[in-house]
Chains A and B, each alone.
Chain A
Amino acid sequence: MTTYFNEMFLGNKVREPYRGLKDWMATMPAELRQMKQAEAEDLFRRIGITFAVYGEGGDPDRLIPFDMFPRVFSAQEWFKLERGIKQRARALNAFLVDVYGRGEIVRAGRIPAHLVYQNEAYEKAVVGFVPPKGVYSHIVGIDLVRTGPDEFFVLEDNCRTPSGVSYMLENREIMMRMFPDLFRENRIEPVDSYPELLRHTLASVAPSKCNGDPTIAILTPGHFNSAYYEHSFLADLMGVELVEGQDLFVEGEFVYMRTTEGPKRLDVIYRRIDDAFIDPLCFRPDSMLGVPGLMDVYRSGGVSICSAPGAGVADDKAVYTFVPEMIRFYLGEEPILNNVPTWQCGKADDCKYVLDHLNELVVKEVHGSGGYGMLVGPKATKEMVETFRAKITSHPENYIAQPTLALSTTPTFVEEGVAPRHVDLRPYCLVGERIELVPGGLTRVALTEGSLVVNSSQGGGVKDTWVLAE
C-alpha cells in the first residue's frame, strides 16, 4: 500500500500553510457546506463557465466540478516553484530558437536529431525565422505533481496553447465572493493581474513593422470549441478583440480584421487554434478555421503569432525527457524542478522494460493530450493492459511510460464530509520581453476516491490555489 503525502495533515499535525483552514473546515456545518456548494455551482452556471468534453456527447453546458477546499502553498514553497518554472520556460524557448536555427543542441549530441527534425510538431515552414524577442512559447503551462514536502515533479510542458487559466481566475473570484472572511484572515497573494500581464506580454512581442500601440486579438476556432468560454473571458479582461478565421484577411503585407468601419490592421494574434489550422495555404488546405496567407505575413514581420507556429516541438512527450539537458545546455544551470523518470518505448531496452511492467506504469501516447489514450497500469483491467500491449508492440515510438507517482492529496469536500483526494498543479508562465508568473495556478483534483487522473475530461474537478504572502 502506497502512502500518499497529504498536504494538510502530517499525522495529526496540521502543516503550516493550511493552519488558517483548520477551524474553517472544522466549524463548517454540513448544511452550510451544501448551501455554499449550490451557490458556487449557480454562480458558475450563471457566469457561463462550462466545459464541453470532446467525444462524450451529452450536455455542452456541463460544469467542471468546483471543490471549495483551497489548495495552499507557503511563500517558501512557491519561491522554489517559481524559480523552477521560470527556468524551464526560459530553456524551452532557447531550445525552440535553436532548433529552428543552427540546431546547436543536436550538433552537440545532447538530443537525437530524429526526435527533433522528424517530429510531427517540427514546423519546416518557420525554419530560420526568429520571432520577435526570440520567443516561441509565450504562455507555458507546466503540469506539476507533488509526492512529498519538497518533492515536485514536472509531468509535462505545454508550450502551445495551454488552457484552464480562466478557471484559476474564476475559482478565486468565486471563493472571494463566498468566503470573504477566509481572505481577511489569511494573507493570500492575488492572481487577478494575470490578464494585464498577458496583454503586456503580447504587446511586448509586437512585430517589427508595427509602430505605435499594437492591436491585439485572440484567434478562436469558434463558439463550438470547448474552451470558447476561456477565449472570450480573456479577450474581455484584456480588452482585445476575439476573432475567428473568417474575420481576418490578408492583403499586401499585413493582416486585417473585417470591421463595421472597414479593414483594421492586426499586429499580434494570440491564437488558440492548432498550427495545422492557422493558414490553409501553408498547412492543411481543408482548414476552414485559418486565414489564407497569414504565414507569409508572419514570416515577413507583419504580424506576431503567439504561440509561434512550431512551438509544439518543445512539449512533445518524447522531447520532454531532454528538458533537463536543455536547462544545462542553454542556461548552464542545474534543473530546479525534476522530470519524472521516463521510458521511451521507441528504445528497445526501455520498451522491453515497459512491456514487462505494464501493471505498474502509466503509459501515455507521445502526441496525446487531456488524459486520452492513457493507461494507468495499477488501476487498469486486464483487457486494457492487453490492448495497450498490442498498441505499444505495433507502434512503440508512439508511447512513453512513467512510474505511477504517489500524487499528493489535499482535503476535498466529498459526499461524506472531507476526504483526501489527489491533485496536480498547472501554473501559467508568461514569456515576452520579461518572464512573469502570477502566484497561483490551476489545481486539478481527481474527485473519485483513489483515482490519479485529474483531467477535466475524465471527471476531474478544480480548486482555488493559494500562495500565502510572506
Chain B
Amino acid sequence: MLSRTADNLYWIARYIERAETAARLLEVGARIALLPSAAGYRNEWDSLLSASGTASAFSEKYGEAIQRNLESWFFFDRDNPSSVASCITNARENARIVRTALTSQVWDALNTAFQELKAMERRPRSQLALSQLTEWATRNSALVRGCIDATLLRNDGWDFLNLGFNLERADNTARLMDVKYYVLLPRADFVGSGLDNYQWTTLLRSMSAHRAFHWAYGGDVTSDKIADFLILNRQCPRGLITCVDGMNKHLDQLATAYGKSNDAQVKAKHLLTELSGLTVSDIFEEGLHEFLTRFIRDVATLGAAVHESYLNGDQR
C-alpha cells in the first residue's frame, strides 16, 4: 500500500483514540473536582492540563481553569490539537483522503460523527451537559472501532490502523495515570487514605475499568493493585503491556507480510521484554511519575521508528 495511505490510516486511529482520551480526561477531571478540596492541593483541573501537555496553551487563551473553560478546551477548541473536535475533524479528513482503503461503514461512522459534531457546535452550550459530551465522544470512537473490527480486510491497512490505536492508547493511558500523580503529589501521607482511594477509583472509572478491576483483583482498591492492573496486567484492555503487546503483534504481522524486519519491530520487542520483567515494586521504586515519563518517551521513539520504517516512503 502507498506509504501515504498507511500514514493516513495510522493517524485515523491515533486521532480517534486521542479524542476518546480527551473525553476521558474531561470526565476524570469533573469527578475529581466534585471532591471537597483540601488546603495544599493543586487545582484538580491544572493536573488535567499538565497531563495532557497543554497547560501553557490553555492559560494563554483562557487564563482561569474553571470547568466551562476546560470543557471548551478539551472538547470544542480547534486551537487545542488534542481536543475532541480537532481529533474527530482530523480523523475524518484523513479518512476522506483514504476513502479507498476504508469500507463504507467505517467512513460512514467517521463522517456521521463529524456531521454530528458540527451540529453540536451550533447548539447553545447550555443545552449540552458535560456527561453528554463525553458519552458522545466515547460512543463514537467505539462505533468507529467497531466498524473497523467488523468490516475491514485483515491486510496491512488493518495492521497500520491497529498500530495507531495501540500506540496512542499506550501513550494516553500513561498520561491519564500521570494525572493521579499530579493530584497526589503534595501530601505523601494521603497514600492509603480514603481520599487517595477515591482518586484511584476515579481513574479506573475514567477508563471504564473499575468493574473490570474488581473482577480481576477483588478486595480493596490499592495503588499497588491499580498500577499492576493498568501497567502489567495483560487482561486490562487499556493496560500498557496490553498495548505494547498489540503493537508487537501488528509489527510482526507487517514484517511477515512484507518479508523484512526493521527498527520499529526491534524497539517494540525491547519495550515488551522490559515490561514483562517488571514488578509493581520495581515501578514504585523508580517512582510512578518517572516510570510513566520514561514510558511515554519510549513510545514516542517507537512511533518515530514506525514512521521511518513504513510511513515516510523514502526507503528504496
Q: Is the CB of A260 within 8 A of B96?
A: no
Q: Is the CB of B314 within 8 A of A258?
A: yes
Contacts of A260 on B, CB cut-off 8 Å?
Answer: 1-3, 6, 156, 160, 254, 258, 310-311, 313
Q: How far is the CA of A251 from the CA of B314 in the complex (A)?
A: 13
Q: Pick the contact of A223: B3, B93, B107 (CB < 8 A).
A: B93
Q: Is B115 an interface residue (CB 8 A)?
A: yes
Contacts of A251 on B, CB cut-off 8 Å?
Answer: 316
Q: Is the CB of B99 within 8 A of A236?
A: yes
Q: Pick the contact of B313: A223, A232, A242, A247 (CB < 8 A).
A: A247
Contacts of A48 on B, CB cut-off 8 Å?
Answer: 96, 99, 107, 111
Contacts of B156 on A, CB cut-off 8 Å?
Answer: 260
By CB atoms of chain A within 10 A, which of B2, B6, B93, B104 has the most? B2
CB distance from B256 to the nearest CB of A (A): 12
Q: Is A170 an interface residue (CB 8 A)?
A: no
Q: Are A45 and B115 also in contact (CB < 8 A) when A233-B99, A242-B100, A263-B316 are?
A: yes
Q: Would you list which residues of chain B between 174 and 198 have a CB under 8 Å from chain A?
A: none
Q: Are A236 and B100 also in contact (CB < 8 A) when A48-B107, A262-B315, A263-B316 are?
A: yes
Q: How far is the CA of A45 from the CA of B5 in the complex (A)?
A: 23
CB distance from B20 to the nearest CB of A (A): 22
Q: Total interface residues on B, using CB and 8 Å?
A: 28
Contacts of A242 on B, CB cut-off 8 Å?
Answer: 100
CB distance from A257 to the nearest CB of B (A): 6
Q: Is the CB of B4 within 8 A of A247?
A: yes
Q: Is B35 an interface residue (CB 8 A)?
A: no
Q: Is A157 an interface residue (CB 8 A)?
A: no
By CB atoms of chain A within 10 A, which of B4, B107, B311, B315 has the most? B4
Q: Is A243 an interface residue (CB 8 A)?
A: yes
Q: Is the CB of A259 within 8 A of B313?
A: yes
Q: Is A213 an interface residue (CB 8 A)?
A: no
Q: Would you list which residues of chain B between 258 and 311 have a CB under 8 Å from chain A?
A: 258, 310-311
Q: How far is the CA of A45 from the CA of B316 in the complex (A)?
A: 40
* Chain A residue with Cβ nearest B6: A260
CB distance from B253 to the nearest CB of A (A): 12
Overall SS of chain A's interface: mixed
CB distance from A242 to the nearest CB of B (A): 5
Q: Is the CB of B112 within 8 A of A46?
A: yes
Q: Pick the contact of B316: A235, A236, A246, A262 (CB < 8 A).
A: A262
Q: How far is the CA of A251 from the CA of B107 in the complex (A)?
A: 35
Q: Pick the contact of A258: B2, B96, B107, B115 (CB < 8 A).
A: B2
By CB atoms of chain A within 10 A, which of B3, B97, B99, B107 has the most? B99
Q: Is A261 an interface residue (CB 8 A)?
A: yes
Q: Are A259 and B3 also in contact (CB < 8 A) when A45-B115, A48-B107, A247-B313 are?
A: yes
Q: Is the CB of B112 within 8 A of A258?
A: no
Q: How far is the CA of A264 from the CA of B115 in the complex (A)?
A: 37
Q: Is A436 an interface residue (CB 8 A)?
A: no
Q: How far is the CA of A235 from the CA of B100 in the complex (A)?
A: 7
Q: How far is the CA of A242 from the CA of B104 in the complex (A)?
A: 17
Overall SS of chain B's interface: helix
CB distance from A216 to the nearest CB of B (A): 13
Contacts of B3 on A, CB cut-off 8 Å?
Answer: 247, 258-260
* Chain A residue with Cβ nearest B111: A48
Q: Is A325 an interface residue (CB 8 A)?
A: no
Q: Is A82 an interface residue (CB 8 A)?
A: no
Q: Is B108 an interface residue (CB 8 A)?
A: yes
Q: How far is the CA of A345 from the CA of B2 in the complex (A)?
A: 49
Q: Is A424 an interface residue (CB 8 A)?
A: no
Q: Is the CB of B112 within 8 A of A246?
A: no
Q: Is A98 an interface residue (CB 8 A)?
A: no
Q: Is A244 an interface residue (CB 8 A)?
A: yes
Q: Is A241 an interface residue (CB 8 A)?
A: yes
Q: Is the CB of A232 within 8 A of B100?
A: yes
Q: Would you list which residues of chain A between 274 and 306 have a CB under 8 Å from chain B?
A: none
Q: How far is the CA of A232 from the CA of B111 in the complex (A)?
A: 15
Contacts of B313 on A, CB cut-off 8 Å?
Answer: 247, 258-260
* Chain A residue with Cβ nearest B313: A258
Q: How far is the CA of A242 from the CA of B5 in the complex (A)?
A: 9
Contacts of A46 on B, CB cut-off 8 Å?
Answer: 108, 111-112, 115
By CB atoms of chain B within 10 A, which of A48, A233, A246 has the most? A48
Q: How far is the CA of A47 from the CA of B310 in the complex (A)?
A: 30
Contacts of B108 on A, CB cut-off 8 Å?
Answer: 46
Q: How far is the CA of A161 from the CA of B98 in the complex (A)?
A: 21
Contacts of B1 on A, CB cut-off 8 Å?
Answer: 259-261
Q: Is the CB of B99 within 8 A of A244?
A: no
Q: Is the CB of B2 within 8 A of A259?
A: yes
* Chain B residue with Cβ nearest A218: B100
Q: How far is the CA of A233 from the CA of B100 in the complex (A)?
A: 7
* Chain A residue with Cβ nearest B311: A260
Q: Would you list which residues of chain A between 225 and 254 have a CB under 8 Å from chain B?
A: 228-229, 232-233, 235-236, 241-244, 246-247, 251
Q: Would you list which residues of chain B between 26 and 80 have a CB under 8 Å from chain A?
A: none
Contacts of A235 on B, CB cut-off 8 Å?
Answer: 100
Q: Would you list which residues of chain B between 121 and 180 have a CB under 8 Å from chain A?
A: 156, 160
Q: Would you list which residues of chain B between 1 and 16 have a CB under 8 Å from chain A?
A: 1-6
Q: Is the CB of B4 within 8 A of A246?
A: yes
Q: How far is the CA of A215 from the CA of B150 in the complex (A)?
A: 29
By CB atoms of chain B within 10 A, which of A232, A257, A258, A260 has the most? A260
Q: How far is the CA of A262 from the CA of B1 in the complex (A)?
A: 9
CB distance from B71 to the nearest CB of A (A): 26
Contacts of B314 on A, CB cut-off 8 Å?
Answer: 258
Contacts of A263 on B, CB cut-off 8 Å?
Answer: 316
CB distance from A71 to the nearest CB of B (A): 27
CB distance from A344 to the nearest CB of B (A): 43
Given contacts A236-B99, A261-B1, 4 further A-B contacts (CB under 8 A): A46-B115, A48-B96, A260-B6, A262-B315
9 pairs from A and B in contact (CB 8 Å cutoff): A45-B111, A46-B108, A48-B111, A232-B98, A247-B313, A258-B2, A259-B3, A260-B2, A260-B313
Interface residues of B (CB under 8 A from A): 1-6, 93, 96-100, 104, 107-108, 111-112, 115, 156, 160, 254, 258, 310-311, 313-316
Closest 4 CB pairs of A and B: A258-B313, A232-B99, A236-B100, A223-B97
